[in-house]
Amino acid sequence: MSEIVYLNGEFFPLAEAKVSVLDRGFVFGDGVYEVIPVYSRRAFRLDEHLQRLQNSLNSVRIDNPHDASTWTEIVNTIIARNETDDQYLYLHVTRGVAKRDHAFPNPPVTPTVFVMSYPLSTPLPTLLQKGVSAITAVDNRWLRCDIKAISLLPNVLLRQAAADAGCAETIMIRDNEFMTEGAASNIFVVKNGTLLAPPKNNLMLPGITYDVVLELAEAHGIPHQIRKILKEELLTADELLMTSSTKEVLPITLLDGQPVGNGRPGPMFEKLYQLYQTFKRDVMRQHKA
Ligand code: PDD
């Protein structure tokens, strides 16, 4: 079975899906996207992902080409027509194809809509037992990091800086003062048994996994605070966690070459990881009933 993708109303094998070189996604990075994990062929938190997509589209003034039921139909068809039970979906909407001009096409053109699927491989037990390494860097992105924009050059360069250092992630610091997020993840800090999360604002992506982790903390009486996290607090954390749709919850055990806490995944990670796995299973059971 070849990978099947969705492009502008049709389903194609990946190799046959083509867009114009004048697509504004290609020319300007003028578009937005979503990444949605799929467990046992069910899209996880689909409503929340579609709502975030709507927020991103509103922010960049692209009309949503589909209502929620059409998106759900497309998503479910892609899930059914691809091979593995666990997948992750990439949804991508650009402003469409037009002669190159920075201002929006006038009259407006039809947005380009693309959906593809990859097999989802969540972090292996060996990685979870050891944790991953990260580096810190200046957050040199724009002031609308809440938009899930496809123009990701700063994030690409920041993640590559981590890769060059043999690390998994770059944690960004704004104004040499406070932590925002990872190049492609949200970051939590643990200090004296309290889970600290940076507030959702224009300087970070409102992660769906971030929400799940905070809901679990709330439901299970884990002390937590949502507030600005200072650079010093990041650098002296007892534990660091990174979260994303594809990585779920991962412990960061080495930061800028220094051990985080005792250099091993800590009790907050163990607790949240177990809760996250149980929650995932329960949600799937609920859907099956
Ligand atoms: N990225 N912050 C940034 C900058 C991200 O790119 C991501 C996810 C997150 C976590 O969001 P969520 O929990 O909703 O996945 C935070 C995806 C996985 C990506 O670009 O591939």
Question: Tell me: the pLDDT tens digits for 139-186?
Answer: 999 999 999 999 999 999 999 999 999 999 999 999 999 999 999 999
Q: Up-side HSE of residue 1: CA atoms within 13 Å toward CB?
A: 9
Name the band, by pLDDT with cuts 50, 70 and 90, for residue 286.
low
pLDDT, position 285 = 65
What mean pLDDT comes out for the span 56-66? 98
What mean pLDDT comes out for the span 215-242? 98
Closest atom of ligand 1 relative to the 246 alpha carbon? 18
Closest atom of ligand 1 relative to the 181 alpha carbon? 2
Closest CA to 198 of 170, 234, 222, 236: 234
CA–CA separation, 122 and 281 (whole Å): 14
CB-CB contact of 123 with 114 (8 Å):
no
Question: Is any ligand 1 atom within 6 A of the Cβ of residue 170?
Answer: no
Q: What is the pTM of this model?
A: 0.97
Q: Which residues contact 48 (CB under 8 A, 6 or more apart)?
A: 208, 211
Instruction: Compute the mean pLDDT over every residue in the chain, rounded to the nearest whole number.
Output: 97
CA–CA separation, 38 and 32 (whole Å): 20
Name the band, by pLDDT with cuts 50, 70 and 90, for residue 213.
very high
**223 C-alpha to center of ligand 1: Å?**
24
Name the band, by pLDDT with cuts 50, 70 and 90, for residue 14.
very high
pLDDT, position 289 = 42
**244 C-alpha to center of ligand 1: Å?**
5
What mean pLDDT comes out for the span 95-124? 97
**138 C-alpha to center of ligand 1: Å?**
18
pLDDT, position 268 = 98
What mean pLDDT comes out for the span 243-262? 98
DSSP string, 98-116: -SS-SSPPSS--PPEEEEE
pLDDT, position 270 = 98
Closest CA to 253 of 263, 243, 262: 263
Name the band, by pLDDT with cuts 50, 70 and 90, for residue 288.
low
**258 C-alpha to center of ligand 1: Å?**
25
Q: What percentage of residues in the chain have a pLDDT greater than 90? A: 96
Question: Is any ligand 1 atom within 6 A of the Cβ of residue 246?
Answer: yes
Q: Is 148 a catalytic residue?
A: yes
**Is residue 24 within a helix (H) or strand (E), and if so which, with residue range?**
helix 24-28
Pocket test for ligand 1, best of 38, 245, 249 (most atoms within 8 A of CB): 245
Question: Is any ligand 1 atom within 6 A of the Cβ of residue 120?
Answer: no
Is it the case that residue 1 has pLDDT exceeding 70? no
pLDDT tens for each residue of 242-251 = 999 999 999 9
Q: String of b and e for 171-203 (b: at least 16 CB within 10 Å)?
A: bbbbeeebbbbbbbbbbbbbbeeebbbbebeeb
DSSP string, 175-206: TTTEEEEESSSEEEEEETTEEEEPPPSTTS--
Place of tokens 């990041």: 234
Closest atom of ligand 1 relative to the 186 alpha carbon? 16
* Phi, psi of 36, rounded to the nearest 5 degrees: -125, 120
Question: Is any ligand 1 atom within 6 A of the Cβ of residue 207?
Answer: yes
Pocket test for ligand 1, best of 32, 117, 205 (most atoms within 8 A of CB): 205
pLDDT, position 283 = 82
Name the band, by pLDDT with cuts 50, 70 and 90, for residue 198.
very high
pLDDT, position 284 = 75
18, 99, 130, 148: which is the annotated catalytic residue?
148
CA–CA separation, 264 and 275 (whole Å): 19
